[in-house]
Amino acid sequence: MNKATRERAKKGAEQAFKRDEKYYVQSLVFLVEDCLFKAPRPYFEQSEVFRDTFKLPPVDGVFEGANDETALRLHGIKANDFRAFLSVLMPLPSSEEATATKEEWLGVLSLADMWNFEKIRQLSIDKLRKEPMDAVERILHGRKHQIEEWLLAGHLHLARRDTFLSIVEAEQLGGLPFVIKMVKARDLVRVQHGSRAVGIILNCFGLGSNATYSDNSSPILTAFGNIVIIDDPSKADPDDEAGKVPAPRSAQKRPIESDSDDSDSD
């Protein structure tokens, strides 16, 4: 069948049948690095970023992403990260449930942040709470993705840790200005617990909003017990309670959702 015949057949089908308004789904083709991906467009219409992209006028009557030749190029993104993101956004029913690695969840978090997929962003944060990271890594990711509880947990861990910052840690976290703040925080946190310790961290490092944390039911206080921070993540056991940042004393009476509860709901 030549091209002209196919075009006539296509026009005939369009005249004979109507397309369902809801379930005649348009697909999008993406080019990420050197790999082509094809996915249903409605999944990406959840994102304001993509909705704005879809408003762009077509080139020569063809919308970007309509086929392999006009694939929507995603510059600066790794194919592995995009693949992991798609597995969360639209998991294939035929594939076995796989456990994503920490690096994959970090990739998913970055893309969810970039494209404003709030539910996937929150899911990534929940999954990464249990992944072993040292305090510096928690803080750096917390800064990048504006995750307040990671920032608080990381700073509090460093303030309570027996050993002071190493030269490498100090350089990673901001140099001399950060060191000066940490000296002050360590001095004050030693004799404080609960919401007061959190308040010291907030004030010393300028974290969070102007809200106070005197309320012991604050999610920030109770979340610490689920965040794994360890000085040597390569030797960490995710189920080892020793690696978790202890909840402030004023919040320890409140129940914290266990790892087994999380796995049952996944």
pLDDT tens for each residue of 218-244: 444 444 556 777 776 555 554 544 445
pLDDT recorded at residue 62:
83
One DSSP character per residue, 181-218 reads HHHHHHHHHTT--HHHHHHHHHHHHT-S-S-----TT-
Q: Shortest CA distance to 160 belongs to which of 206, 204, 192?
A: 192
pTM of full prediction above 0.85:
no
Q: What percent of the chain has pLDDT over 70?
A: 71
CA distance 238 to 18: 54
| Domain 20-92+99-119 fold | Potassium Channel Kv1.1; Chain A (3.30.710)
Answer whether residue 15 shows pLDDT above 60.
yes
Q: Where are the domains of the chain?
A: 20-92+99-119, 132-265
pLDDT tens for each residue of 102-118: 999 999 999 999 999 99
Q: Please report which confidence band the pLDDT of residue 151 belongs to, taking 50, 70 and 90 as the band edges.
A: very high
CA distance 251 to 1: 72
Q: Which range has the worst mean pLDDT, 19-33, 34-48, 185-199, 247-261?
A: 247-261
Which residue did the predictor score with more confidence, 9 or 210?
9
Mean pLDDT of the chain: 79
One DSSP character per residue, the chain reads --HHHHHHHHHHHHHHS---TTTSPPEEEEEETTEEEEEEHHHHTTSHHHHHHHTSPPBTTB-TTSSGGG-EE-TT--HHHHHHHHHHHS--TTSPP-PPPHHHHHHHHHHHHHHT-HHHHHHHHHHHHTS-B-HHHHHHHHHHHT-HHHHHHHHHHHHHSSS---HHHHHHHTSHHHHHHHHHHHHHHTT--HHHHHHHHHHHHT-S-S-----TT-HHHHHGGG-BB-S-GGG--TT-GGGBPPPPGGGTTS----HHHHHHH-
